[in-house]
Structure 1
């Protein structure tokens, strides 16, 4: 079955091979998305303490809180916005909002400007990352969702890690500002230009809706409120995915703020910290290509549960080997990166499995809301615990919380084949 693409009258088909060019363009766009947020991984916590003289860890981590809350809210809004705007329009808008970010990070006269830049960065990331992942899912159809999300997240997080490494090196040779931050101008320009070229995927969504084995009955409640409630709590598997996503990004937000301070306190320089902060997302990114494919073959749940436990072990290693800080940081980054690579595409694919195409964008938006509120939660928890009990206690708390999250995922998440997906958010609600 196919539909036509307007004036071009070309058939629309679902599949990675059938849509490889558009898929590849979207992969490159997400490299730029990840590169922009990667600007902050190594330098910004140190800018807060060394340039602006912040003494409270919570104050230093405030930029992550601003970023996480804004990105989470934008993720949630993105689902509703797709009912009024095309995905391409939202993608381009996200890039336009991100234009001031590298300039503000490079020349901010006060810490408040850094926090404000992270509000803009959160909106940018919420719109651009949401649209790239949704457009890829639209293109490939249900059979290759794990691989599609793995490739999308691999592109983004590999760019995050590579940029963290590069900024660490540039900070060592040119100082914390402005040179490391100005490479973000390249990411914004390239991302915006490519987004203008990418085709919208509305026809692919229409085709999947026509082919879906269980059509959505008229009158079913697919509102944002119903979808949010279903994804957050009513559907047992979606609840399990949402809590795991939150804790996963809580870990990222916590390490984003804590690790640069923890390892510099133990004698490491900027280049070594950049290596640790870069290695984590690079492994997270590249690892999602095989794990995304594996999620399509063995199922989502095994990767989610074991991935959370591997992350917990990463935090344990960070403290157990702290008398050798470089080894501790590298091994921790390896375990955190591999564990997150196992979890990330499997969670997105699991949420997609449990949602009808008519409300899938809303479900993904709700899931990504909870996942990315984890950035803010991680920074907030880290700041409070670090100020009260120290950085080491913060890492212990992260290890324990991650292990509990893995056990909850094991209890709540079930494999849910495509042909048995719920018809609507209200139809999914009774499953507890």
Structure 2
């Protein structure tokens, strides 16, 4: 056969695009990447938590607790607002663009903290940090829920939150060490610069869009047999989603109030604990260690509690976790030594680990995939307003009645929150028999 008689040579065979699948194992590479990125998100908070309250007193000469806590309030309010837009925009435009924009807001933050000539710069830096945290953390949450499907939401949220708050703990500890060795500025904030650069690289080059997985999940969505969610359709408006998540739907609204109180405790600890621990004349590195215990136990505990909620359900973990937080806060209020405070912060971390990933799993259980991003955004609006409420209310009580009184007040609010969940929330992830193989 001559050259002209030969059949044309086929071009290179391109592999067919793999069909989208739900599940942690099927999406392990992307899921692991998003876990790593969320660790960098948490690290941006950890770089400043130990240092800023001390910077306020030692460098800027601030003495009123309420005034010192303004940076926490600024962070919480802007993060709450950014959460809402993260959910709305991720449903409308996709998850990855929102993630990238969120990291762009992080670029100036460490530089502003390093060069801040007055406290106003610190507050402004925390406004930008709040936007960064709201856009990036909300988006990674939604992306992981997209990838894993309905059966492993608790585990997915446990891994996500463990990475984020584990990084808060490690970075808080590292920042405290750097501050002790090299001063309050600039060394601790160089961590944030490196985190931002790495996150922009990973998010821009390696992260893939996950909205297609949400559409696949929506196509496979099965209504509950008990009819609890029959009124929650796929075509709810933004106003209806806001109303359902805030006060109408029992599970969604209970999760929102518990999330707010949980972060009220975190916001209070962020601004108040370093000052409380300093009353015992502890060195900066020990204060950093005490502050790191809380998110470390919180982060590590979520590796267990998230998956546990997939097996035993959500409600009892949330109720029990809020009560455990109340006990921990009472112990911290009674404490006056490193050992007692270490025990209290560890118990507080355990209680938070029971609650944090489980609340996000509740939102994933109830919200339809078509408006999941917006429901997560609304929930995180209320949850992260807790930062501001805890900082402002805690500062006012501390100014009027002392640091310990502010901690006791938070313990009482945690008891009220736990009672509300016990009375109003239903189980959103009832156990079902495993089908025969």
| TM-score, scaled to structure 2 | 0.92
Q: Which residue of 2 aligns with 1:426?
A: none
Q: Which residue of 2 aligns with 1:208?
A: 217
Question: What is the alpha-carbon distance in structure 1 between the residues aligned to residue 248 and residue 413 of structure 2?
Answer: 23
Q: Which residue of 1 aligns with 2:280?
A: 266
Question: What is the alpha-carbon distance in structure 1 between the residues aligned to residue 185 and residue 102 of structure 2?
Answer: 25
Q: Pick from 337, 344, 369: which aligns with 2:381? A: 369
* C-alpha contact (below 8 Å) 1:216/1:358 kept by paired residues: no
* C-alpha contact (below 8 Å) 2:266/2:390 kept by paired residues: yes
Q: Pick from 356, 369, 372: which aligns with 1:360? A: 372
Q: Which residue of 2 aligns with 1:232?
A: 246
Q: Which residue of 2 aligns with 1:428?
A: none
Q: Which residue of 2 aligns with 1:60?
A: 68
Question: What is the alpha-carbon distance in structure 1 between the residues aligned to residue 16 and residue 191 of structure 2?
Answer: 38
Does 1:326 pair with 2:338? yes
Q: Which residue of 2 aligns with 1:427?
A: none
Please give the per-residue CA displacement for 1:375-432, whole angstroms capped at 9, x wherever unaligned.
0000001111111111011011011111111111111111124899xxxxxxxxxxxx
Count of aligned positions: 413
Question: What is the alpha-carbon distance in structure 2 between the residues aligned to residue 192 and residue 8 of structure 1?
Answer: 29
Q: Which residue of 2 aligns with 1:71?
A: 79
User: 1:332, CA displacement in angstroms?
Assistant: 1.2
Does 1:176 pair with 2:187? no
Q: Which residue of 1 aligns with 2:322?
A: 308
* C-alpha contact (below 8 Å) 2:325/2:347 kept by paired residues: yes
Question: What is the alpha-carbon distance in structure 1 between the residues aligned to residue 210 and residue 431 of structure 2?
Answer: 23
Please give the per-residue CA displacement for 1:174-231, whole angstroms capped at 9, x wherever unaligned.
1111111111111101111111111000211111111112499999652221101100
* C-alpha contact (below 8 Å) 1:105/1:114 kept by paired residues: yes
1:134-173 to structure 2, matched below 5 A, reads 134-173=142-181
Does 1:343 pair with 2:343? no
Q: Pick from 36, 52, 55: which aligns with 1:47? A: 55
Which protein has the larger Cα radius of gyration, Structure 1 or Structure 2? 2
Q: Which residue of 1 aligns with 2:396?
A: 384
User: 1:328, CA displacement in angstroms?
Assistant: 2.1
Uncovered stretches (5+) of structure 2, i.e. residues with no partner = 1-13, 224-228, 433-437
| TM-score, scaled to structure 1 | 0.93
Question: What is the alpha-carbon distance in structure 2 between the residues aligned to residue 219 and residue 242 of structure 1?
Answer: 20
User: 1:358, CA displacement in angstroms?
Assistant: 1.3
RMSD between superposed Cα atoms in Å: 1.9
Q: Which residue of 2 aligns with 1:109?
A: 117
* C-alpha contact (below 8 Å) 1:291/1:341 kept by paired residues: yes
Question: What is the alpha-carbon distance in structure 2 between the residues aligned to residue 411 and residue 8 of structure 1?
Answer: 52
User: 1:84, CA displacement in angstroms?
Assistant: 2.9
* Closer/same/farther in 2, CA of residues 81 and 8 from structure 1, 3 Å limit: farther
User: 1:321, CA displacement in angstroms?
Assistant: 2.7
Question: What is the alpha-carbon distance in structure 2 between the residues aligned to residue 207 and residue 326 of structure 1?
Answer: 51
* C-alpha contact (below 8 Å) 2:234/2:368 kept by paired residues: no
1:220-299 to structure 2, matched below 5 A, reads 221-299=235-313
Q: Which residue of 2 aligns with 1:430?
A: none
Which stretch shows the higher mean deviation, 14-23 or 166-175?
166-175
Question: What is the alpha-carbon distance in structure 1 between the residues aligned to residue 36 and residue 194 of structure 2?
Answer: 13
